[in-house]
Structure 1
Amino acid sequence: MATAAQRGAILAQLDAIEAEMKRIGLWTDRLPDPPATGPLDPAAGFDAWLQGVFLPKARTAAETDTLPARSQVGVLALRQYDHHSTWAAARPLLRLLNDFDRMVEAAAPRGRRRSGR
């Protein structure tokens, strides 16, 4: 169970991720409509997934203290942006996402941190 301070820090981190996405032009005012069969189509792109799926679900999880034991959004972002390795604008976003992963793991109860359960 995360403390109130940890949940607050995680929510602030999510706000920082959103602000960084806006600053570097990865935020859109209109996300693609999700298909009738399920969540946002992966073909819409990683940026759309971060904005339309990850951020809302992560905020809800932090607010309701239902965070997972681990997060790997930083790894996903690195894989997505690795072909942009010279794209300096992505580096702060990658740091923010990796910091989010560490914060989630730190907030997990001790027994759940390593096993992911």
Structure 2
Amino acid sequence: MKIFDIFKKTRSEKSQRVTTKLDEVESEMKRIGFWSPSPPEFKVNNYLEAPSFELWLQCVFIPNARKAAKEESYPKDSQVGQMAMRQYDYHSVVEEAQALLQLLNEFDSIIRTK
């Protein structure tokens, strides 16, 4: 073992699970055409102010969640799955978004675990 190895911070299992889940969310968004190759820049206080839920996921949620995983600083709760349910499975079902909805619910479960 090199001396510098003892100073490297190993990522926790939770951070690894969060990062993997975010990779899956991003891949699914690309697969179903919900990912924008050149998204607009915007600033919002919440997802309802974003141009679309998909752009909020791509430009706000995923980058912030990746930062939280890197810093291992998580909120006590996450409700992105519930937000997605309101978008894709509330009054009418968006079939192509059902796998994305499941992934976001799984993300919420990871965040809620200690």
Q: Which TM class, normalised by the smaller chain length?
A: 0.7 to 0.9
- Answering whether residue 27 of structure 2 is matched by residue 22 of structure 1, we say no
Aligned to 1:46: 53
Aligned to 2:40: 32
Kindly report structure 1 stretches of 4+ aligned residues shifted beyond 3 Å: 38-41
> Greater CA radius of gyration, 1 or 2?
2
Q: TM-score, normalised by structure 2?
A: 0.81
Instruction: In structure 2, list runs of 5 or more residues that go unmatched.
Output: 1-10
Counterpart-to-counterpart distance in 2, 1:18 and 1:31: 14
Aligned to 2:63: 56
Aligned residues: 101
1:101 counterpart (100, 104, 108)? 108
Contact 2:44 2:50 in 1 (8 A): no
Aligned to 2:4: none
Taking only aligned residues, the RMSD between alpha carbons, in angstroms, comes to 1.7
Cα 1:45–1:57, aligned 2, differ >3 Å: closer, same or farther?
same
1:64-75 correspondence runs (5 A)? 64-75=71-82
Which residue type is aligned with residue 97 of structure 1?
L
Contact 1:21 1:27 in 2 (8 A): yes
- Answering whether residue 14 of structure 2 is matched by residue 6 of structure 1, we say yes
Q: How far does residue 43 in structure 1 lie from its aligned partner after superposition?
A: 4.3
Contact 1:14 1:55 in 2 (8 A): yes
Percent of matched pairs sharing the same residue = 42
Q: TM-score, normalised by structure 1?
A: 0.79
**SS of equivalent to 1:31:** coil
